Structure 1
Amino acid sequence: MDIYTTIDSPLGEILLVGDGTALTRLSFAPAAPHTAGLRRDDLKFAEAARQLGEYFAGERTAFDLPLRPRGSTFQERVWTELAGLPYGTTTSYGALAARIGAPADRIRAVGAAVGANPLLVLLPCHRVVAADGALTGYAAGLERKRALLTLEGVLQPQLWSTL
């Protein structure tokens, strides 16, 4: 039986799901509809919660957690490549496709695999942007993508005027 917990973050509540030995899902979605049939176990996720807290505090640039995303062979190939994207950098969907040896006509399939990433933040799909650098698509919303890239120093904080 899979287990779960929820933790607070600066970007909202995070749902963590695992199989008892590895994380299988991290999402920002509301927890209630996604926890049916799961058993809550906060202690099993203490290390993940600690590392995520350090990341959001700007004290961690890489995670050292057991991960087991579940998907098709193609999706898992894309997710493995996501895991290697360095902190504070971005890449395009086309460049990501090239890195896994996918032909140019498979860029949309790569984009779909990125969009299906079950381990947001940990497999940093927020680091994938359009070829022109524009922020496109993020399962947890573009504002969260922008916030993660700002945290990592890729984007400058936006200054809001109060008129």
Structure 2
Amino acid sequence: MRVLLVGSSARGLALARELVADGHAVRAVTRTEARRAELEDAGCECWIGTPDRIGTLRYALENVTILVWALGNASGDDPESVAALHGSRLKMMLEKTTDTTVRGVVYEMTGSLDEATFASGLHEIRWANEKNEIPYALLDADARDEAAWVAAARAAIEGLLVDRPVAGAPR
């Protein structure tokens, strides 16, 4: 399995280390070359890009099984740009997963942002599921408890990998 991790905070790297230790591949996104060594030391493939410009992430989806959108504590000088990460940017990224190897999306919906921002993200995740049948899991663990967050993220990923029956297929 290959995971695309968008939001490679300390807890994201803890998740990546566990996944890599289990033999999975993790492609972690960072905005700058400055974090390459840190990501590679954790066993990740480093991808330079930004969720502010989804075009920089389009090819990061290549051969990815699970997309983890872990931006619950995103910050920046412009609140509208931060909110867009859970609105229009997320929507665009979800549209890019159509006709790829992505089998599911984990959306972090807790953190330092306001409820309206997370509600927007939840709306986009549900929209993608309804429109394109993109399976999703919600990650709502407390980001301040790294161990609990990592355990919840792993459970969300594993839940998406469980075979689901195909409509109309014999059981």
Structure 1-normalised TM-score? 0.29
Structure 2-normalised TM-score? 0.28
Q: Determine which structure has the larger helix proportion and give its number.
A: 2
